[in-house]
Amino acid sequence: MRYEMGLSARSSRDYAAELNSQQYAAVTTDCRRALVIAGAGSGKTRTLTYRVAWLLDQGVAPWRILLLTFTNKAAREMLRRVEQLTGKPADQLWGGTFHAVANRLLRRHADLLGYRPGFTIMDSDDQKALMRSLVKQHAPREGRDRRFPKAELLIGLHSLAANTERDRRDVLAEDYPDLERWAEPIEQIFDAYAERKRQSNCMDFDDLLLNLLRLLREHADIREQIRQRFSHILVDEYQDTNAPQEEIIRLLSGGPDSQLMVVGDDAQSIYSWRGANVQHILSFGQRYPDASVFRIETNYRSVPAILAVSNSAIAGNTRQYRKELRSARAAGSMLPAIIPAPDNRTEAAFVARRIDELLDGGMAGRDIAVLYRAHFHSLDVQMELTRRHIPFRITSGLRFFEQAHVKDAVSFLRLLVNPRDEVAFRRIVGTFPGVGDATAAKLLAAWLEVLELRQREHPGETSVPVPHSELFGGIRVSAKLKPHWGAFLSLMDSLHPQGGTLTPSELVGLVVSYLTPYLHSAYENYEERADDLAQLSRTIDSSGNLDEFLAQVALLSEADQEVPEDDDCVTLSTIHQAKGLEWKAVFVVFLGEGMFPNRRVLEAGDLNALEEETRLFYVAVTRAEDQLYLSYPRYNGRGGDRQYCPASRFLTSLPPELYEVWEIC
């Protein structure tokens, strides 16, 4: 295949003046293989965009440059900056996500893999719809009654196998051992899933990578054509690559004239749970012995005191490229603060009060963030901010009480307090296998009819004074639904406030036990959902009584309407979602041992997982520009479910001269 020759060099730009010395060395290198270790806040995007501009100014034709990123937003931003730098349109550059680039290449060559022209790409909703139909078709009848895994969970299993290039049965045994008893029907479903996609001439997102990889491996002529087209390959966020992406990079850059530059930070590799492998960046020099390594360590984001904490936090990791971030900024007015709080409610009250003070002092809400390891760590902060009428936006998904599994649990409590709560009833019976809208409506009508009869016989009753199994046991249900209906009524009998002997926390505990099989089959991250419900139990115990708690939930949900993007709101986010972002003031909460680092990581004794937890803490700390607050509750919960919570090792390992302790009551 014939390609255009490069353009003649023409540039009056003074790269040495516009970049620091470490950035300049990376941008202008002529080495064939380059690994750029760009520390947090060191201008990674600037380095990559200047590298593209440099190549263009050296006469490289734009269509010979391939820029691979992890988000469309990152690709658009880099191409926009290249246009600003060079004054040349960037539309001839190949820039985009791995999936977008794979799609472009497969459009030209998918016929070699057995696809017809015009293949379509399935989105996540398409995947779920197809997988659900296959589960209905292939799950054993007795399996459906025993909570056969749901479509969403199977999609997660299938995707993890694809993104790690592991055999599906190995993934099932190692990552989903509780599902092994269904190994045969699960494999049948996956085989049927692949066949239905072939018949429909469709690919899902994982197929885009796997099919490009197959094209490059099996068709040497196409591989060489692509290599000849792209003389320079640049990869952003290299520490986040999974197995197929790493192999695609290797195959694309394997030509005799190919130049490869990968940019990343091993200290910010935090996505192993979705297939990313930090070993790719750590072993780059072994796979490419001729590679040069460039370190960019000047940080333009954080004040020196915050960088001192981040450098100390990551120092103990054994697997890393050693680096020392240095601040380009002047010293700030305060050291990072460690705040031991008596309990989780007091911790949340401190965070909300301090945010109030910052807002009163003139700081914008958009410049403040509360970060956490797990979503349930934000529950008390959400409630405190709502009480104080401080607007906030959650960027890490739904607010706590909007999550499906939390709504499921709360629905039982709502129905206990108000047996005529139609929304709660429909939600509960919706967790029964095979119950759709029509069946739910019939059950609701029968339920309300029984209540109406009871009301006529006993005027003035506001609750159900007799066991639910006695009152509602006569409702006719199908043989398939009978065991689930019976289990539901038995649970409601257990929850029944006869004598008021159960605490709100004990009520939630019974609901969680009932829901556990459903959660296990419905959600890939079952253990995290269980943690959410455990925190719900502790929170409800400290809220007073059940009526008061449900009122708080309703008020919080009312405040949970989506906030417009341009509103001045405090950000609440998991640390995983906060990567790449920055704020003037950052609060990292629930820094207790077993909370962060995660209890399951500690129990497993996995050094690699613990080092990833350390990297996650490092990412959290390096989001802060001016002020950093690190807090933990000495006790989580109140009353009978109170748990002692010692300070995280991430705090106790810090030299005391790096921080100040704020004692609160």
Mark the binding-site residues for ATP, compressed into ranges. 38-45
Q: Strand, helix or coil at 36?
A: strand
H helices of 219-258, in order, are 220-229, 243-252
Nearest to 587 by CA among 623, 615, 616, 633: 623
Backbone angles phi, psi at 263, to 5 degrees: -125, 130
How far is Cα 418 from Cα 430, in angstroms, rounded to an integer? Answer: 18
Strand 292-296 relative to strand 65-69, pairing: unpaired
What token pair was written down for 436? 């759709």
Side-chain-side CA neighbours of 310 within 13 Å: the count stands at 31
User: Contact, 427 vs 518, CB < 8 A?
Assistant: no
Segment holding 480, helix H or strand E: none
Residue whose token pair is 């939600």: 427
Q: Which candidate, 119, 107, 98, places its Cα nearest to that of 244?
A: 98
With contact defined as beta carbons under 8 Å apart, do 645 and 603 qualify? no
| Gap between the Cα atoms of 507 and 23, Å rounded | 59
Structure tokens that stand for 179 in this block: 């599902």
The annotation places the binding site at 38-45
Question: Considering only CA atoms, which of 577, 273, 590, 539 is closest in space to residue 406?
Answer: 539
Among residues 391, 313, 352, which one has the least CA distance to residue 567? 391
Long-range contacts of residues 430-436, Cβ cutoff 8 Å, at least 24 apart: 431/515, 431/518, 432/481, 432/484, 432/485, 432/488, 433/144, 433/145, 433/147, 433/480, 433/484, 434/144, 434/480, 434/481, 435/481
Sheet architecture: strand order including 65-69: 94-97, 65-69, 232-235, 259-264, 33-38, 292-296
Other beta carbons within 10 Å of 243:
18
Q: What angle do CA 459, 412, 408 make, to 5 degrees?
A: 145
Give residue for tokens 């009998």.
Answer: 493
Q: Where are the alpha helices (DSSP H) in 523-606?
A: 526-541, 546-558, 575-578, 599-604
